[in-house]
Each structure stands twice: as C-alpha cells, then as structure tokens.
Structure 1
C-alpha cells in the first residue's frame, strides 16, 4: 500500500520525513519526481519556520529542530545495502535547506554588525582579536562550568551534562573528516592532524568516540536517559554543528564555530575532571575529558595558527564569516549552558548575552 503523502503533509514536514523510512524505492522515486508535492512541502516548511521564529511558537521550534535532527541522523549514519536504491536525498535536502535557512537566519539576527566588523586584516592580529571576542562573551567562562560544576556540582549534574554533550562529541570525528573536503596545504593538514587524534592515532581503544561512550556508560547516561533529559537548547546547538559541517558554503563559519569549540574545551573539561574526581567516580569514565585538556589546547593553537590566520591573510573578507561562526557557537553554547544551569540550580541567575 502506498503512503498517503498528502495526509502526512497535512500534519507537517516532520511526518513526511518519518514516512520516508517505510517507503519502497519505487515510491521514493515517484515522490522525488512529484514536483507539485515538493512545492507544497516547501510551503509547509516555510509556514513551520514562521510559526517557530516569527510567532515564537515553542512547539513549532521543537518540531523544526526534531525534523532537522532526523535529516542529520541520516546524513551521519552508515550506509545500508538494503537502501542502495532508496533515494531520499531530494526530499531531505528540500526540507533541510528551508529549515536551515530559518535557523541560521535567527542566529545571524542575534549578532550585532558592530561585533564582527572592523576586524584586523592581518592573520596574527585577527587571531588575537577573535580570542578577545571569546574571552569577553558570557560563554567564554560560563558559570555552569566555572562556578557550579567546579565548586559543588553533583554526580547527577555530571550525568546531565554528558547527556547534552551527545549533541556534538559522537560526531566530531566525522565533522572533521567533512571539513577536509576541498581544502589544501597546511590548512588541510591541520584539520587532518586533529582528525587523526580523534581516531586515537590509529589505536582503536583510544578512538575518542569510543572513550566518550565509555564516559557515558560510566556515569549511567544510557540512550533512554539521554532521550529523556536532552534539552531543546542542546539540540539546537547540535543541529547547527551539523549544518555548518555539511554545507560547503558555510565552511568559513564552521572554521570559526569549531575553532571556538576547541579553544573552550580544555578549561571546560578541567572543571569536569575536577568534579568527577571530587566524587571519586571510576577513572575509566574520565579518560576522554582528561585527554582533551591537553590535546584540545594544542588543537586550538594549531587551528588558529594554521587555519584561521592563513585564511584571513589570503582574503580578509573571510574574517567576517569566521567571526559569524564564532559568535553563533558562543551564543548557542550560552543558551544551552544557561538552560543546564537553570535545571541544576533553579535559583541561579542567567548570564547576560554579549551578542547584542
């Protein structure tokens, strides 16, 4: 029996995406060639974006990001031989392009032009400028890590944090692989060196995604727990990470976004390690974070020296794109750490955004 696609569409783009997995290859081909239907799907995506961001409807925001998460889950999944003839990409890309435009439009609107213009055109000076930007942003030293977790965070706070970190850490090696596409010279070698570290430098036992999985298991953050405690703000951050990595046109934003990620990781992970050991938890669960304190400090330095600075030296216009990506990372990181702090300490004051 063929799927009633118009009925699914009447409930929204998310229902259409969910319907793709149960469809035959022939049905997917017919759907991809049904341009009137794809036009209606596009209108449904635009309407969802309006409800989410123009009208501020929370349920629409959650639906929009659930839909994007489904697209990215497939983008980052391994190939199945049974799917060799199942062409879902036309529908997936239709939906992703429209919803991504809405999400990034919302994030870019939060960034004041004054905060990203007038940057230095020399690569070395630009690096100092962008590090200063990070240092002055509330996310640069967020109280969740540097006050709450470091001083008196509980075991459950650690568990909750690691559940949120599944928004990026299990995919970071694949993101670095994607970022190497089309790059050359020292820039590509720097990203490749970072990727090889993520691969445990060839030791399967030291692959970082494996170590992160051991951290989750050690603290009891199983898939059911992650699903039940995952914050919407963490989902937004994870979706934007995927969007910037997957789209070639957003490469320079991704350089800024993931450069900030590497730059902040060591000081944040130090807080995690200190809290972990304060509670006397199994050391096997903290190998991932302990390792990254030193590794990511080196990666951040290399990223700024061998990726950011040469790009700005080659074309100063790239500096604006890198700064946009950096600010998107800072703002979305602040959002979900604010939400996490409120979950752990309801009476704690929220940070004040530096984006405006």
Structure 2
C-alpha cells in the first residue's frame, strides 16, 4: 500500500477518513483486509468517544460528529461511475458502528426508564400517552420558536435557523425511502404516502428538497454561510437522524423519532412563516414551510394511526422502543434549539449584517 495508514491515523480520524476518497480500488481492497490497521482504527474511535463523552472534551465531540457526518454524507450521496470498484464500506461501517454506539449510549443514558415504560398496551391509548409525553417536554413548545422567533426574531435569525435545518430537511425524502424497507401493509403505505408528498406528488417543481433549497437561496443561506454558522448541536441531531434511519435494528426508535418530528413541524413552521412575513421577505422562500403546516399535520395523524398504533398492538414491547426514539428526538431538539436561542440572543447576532438574498 502506498499510504502509511497508521501514520495517517496518528494525525486524526477525520484525516484518515478523508484519505479514503483519494485511494485506489486496489488500495481500498488491501486496506479492508488489513486487520491490524482496522484494529488500530477501532481503538482510535473508542479513544475519541472517551474523550468526547467521558472527558467532556468539546473538540473531541466536534471531531466525532464531523467523522460521523462524513460517513453519512457518503451514505446519502449518489454513486459516481468512477467509484464502482472502490469499496469503502468495511472501513466506514467500522467507524460508524463504534461512534454510533457511543452517541446512542449517551442519549439513552439521559432517559429515565420510568419515562418510557408503564405505557398503555393498546395502540390507541398508547398514541394519547405518547402525545402527552411530547406536550410535556420542554422541546414541545420551545421558546426559540414560540417566543423569540414570533416576537422579536430578525431576518438573520431566520437565515441562521434555515442553515441549521440542513441537518435533516435535504435528506428527509431519502430517510422515508429507507424506512419503508422490510415493512408491509398499512404501515408501509403510510410511510410511502409521506414519501410521495416529499416527492411533490410527482411534480418536479414541488419536490420538497427543491422547495427547501429555494428557501435557503432566498434568505442568503449559501453553502459557505451554512458551513460557517452550523452548530455542533444541529450536527448531533442530524447525525442521530441518519443513524436511526440507516440501521434496520433502530427502526422502532426511528418511528418514534420521526413521528415527533412530524408532530412538532406544523406548530414550529407556523412561527417561521409568521416571522418571515413580518419581515416582508420574498414569498417564494416560505413555500416550503407554509406547505408543511398542513401537510405535516396530516402526516403526523397518519403516522400515529397507521404506524405507531398498529406496531404497539402487534407487540406492546415495541412501545418502549418508540418512546425511546421520541425522547431522543425531544432531548436533542431541545439541545439544538437552546444553542440556537443562545446564538441568536448574543450581542454579535443583533449587529450582524444580513447577507444578500
């Protein structure tokens, strides 16, 4: 092998993962079979996780989530013909599995067992119980949306918010596509209907990722701005979204996680639309959020009725998994919105000159 991978690994996990893109197909094949190196790579991941979560080193937490984000970027990217013989998955899956375990262990440790057990075993009653859980959590009516944005949010605050929302919105259609794998009947049809809405119901001009891109462009949140303002907490939320969607074993948690996402979207997006119009911004930029106020209300109702309820009816043990996913979403959403509110409330934000839309 031309690259000294152990020397490269000593410079950091991120540098090692980035180097995979410049490797030849033969070098990648040899690297996958180089088990001593893969052992060193695993140890580097464990060490990084200890620094990030055991020692509370923010720089380590940033590197850990940057590494996961790089892996997920590959997972959600289209294939190039020049890459058909380049097998990176053994290495990337090694890294993802170890870092994901550390991330989820931390998130699960924040959830009390009492909050996710003792739930109703009837699907209908369980849905009421789950909605009550969401309503009582601080993220259910977070002050960023329901006080700051609606009462005093600036144009720059809106731009900053949309930059953070790139952690999920641009790939939500693909997440729904992934969640359909292996499901059947009304459950699969409900997720498929949600997916078809994301696809603009067949109209290319109404595909939701396109509409979200127009929102970013209209407010001046170009890729450079997103990169420079992206919050770690937003990255954590986005990585967990990808983790739960990509792994089949996390499906039930994903049902709870994205069910909460759909349930909270209409009330949050109403705040965005109101703030947008208060500033007299171009209506083309608010089509995405305005549309989701009604669409996501329907999606949430269908998700609870046709996915959550039937799953709990089929096996009450699934209720705990759904609740865990819901709590992970609520807790990480609160973290992200707390950080966003702090950023928007800082003196520097009030004097920032908005970019040109």
Q: Place the TM-score, normalised by the shorter chain, in its bin.
A: over 0.9
- Structure 2 counterpart of 1:352: none
2:132 counterpart residue number:
132
CA distance in 2, matches of 1:28, 1:13: 17
- Report the alpha carbon displacement of residue 13 of structure 1 after superposing the two structures with TM: 2.0
Q: Is the counterpart of residue 182 in structure 1 residue 160 in structure 2?
A: no
**TM-score of the superposed pair, with normalisation by structure 1:** 0.97
Instruction: Find the counterpart in structure 2 of residue 350 from structure 1.
Output: none
Residue 156 in structure 1 maps to residue 124 in structure 2: no
Q: Which residue of 2 aligns with 1:75?
A: 75
Following the alignment from structure 1 to structure 2, what is the Cα–Cα distance between the partners of residues 245 and 252?
10
User: Does the 8 A contact of 1:145 with 1:272 survive in 2?
Assistant: yes
Residue 195 (structure 1) aligns with: 195
Which is worse superposed, 9-18 or 100-109? Answer: 9-18
| Deviations, residues 54-98 of structure 1 (Å, cap 9, x unaligned) | 111111000000000000000000010000000000000000000
Instruction: Give the Cα separation in 1 of the matches to 2:15 and 2:100.
Output: 18
Q: CA deviation at 1:239?
A: 0.2
Aligned counterpart, 1:330: 330
CA distance in 1, matches of 2:314, 2:97: 29
Q: C-alpha displacement at 1:16, in angstroms?
A: 1.3
Confirm or deny: 8 A CA contact 1:14 1:66 kept in the other structure. Answer: yes
In structure 1, distance between residues paired with 2:60 and 2:287? 39
Map 1:206-225 to 2 at 5 A. Answer: 206-225=206-225
Alpha-carbon distance, 1:299 to partner: 0.1
Q: Distance in 1 between matches of 2:284 and 2:7?
A: 50
Give 2:354's aligned residue.
none
Quote the offset at 1:2 in angstroms: 1.4
Mapping of 1:23-102 within 5 angstroms?
A: 23-102=23-102
* Aligned twin of 1:244: 244
2:256 is paired with a residue whose SS is helix
- Matched with 1:5 is 5
Identify the residue that residue 228 of structure 1 maps to in structure 2: 228
Structure 1 residue 12 displacement after superposition: 2.6
Kindly tell me the number of residue pairs found equivalent between the two proteins.
347
Moved over 4 A (4+): none
Deviations 1:110-141 (A, max 9, x none): 00111111000000000000000000000000
Q: Could you tell me how far 1:346 is from its partner in structure 2?
A: 3.6
Aligned-pair CA distance for 1:320: 0.3
Output one character per residue of 1:37-69: Cα deviation in whole Å (capped at 9) or x when no partner.
101110111011001101111110000000000
Cα distance in structure 1, aligned partners of 2:43 and 2:295: 46
Q: 2:118 & 2:14 partners in 1: Cα distance?
A: 41
Note the residue ranges of structure 2 that are not aligned, 5 or more in a row: 348-357
What's the secondary structure of 1:166's corresponding residue? helix
Q: In terms of mean alpha carbon deviation, does 338-347 or 185-194 score higher?
A: 338-347
Displacement of 1:11 in angstroms is 2.0
TM (normalized to structure 2)? 0.96
Pairing of 1:262-281 with structure 2 (within 5 A):
262-281=262-281
SS in structure 2 opposite 1:79?
Answer: coil
Q: CA deviation at 1:207?
A: 0.0
Equivalent pair of 1:146/1:271 in contact (CA under 8 Å): yes
Q: Please state how far the C-alpha of 1:290 moved relative to its aligned partner.
A: 0.2
CA distance in 1 between partners of 2:48 and 2:12 (Å): 8
Give how far 1:152 is off: 1.4
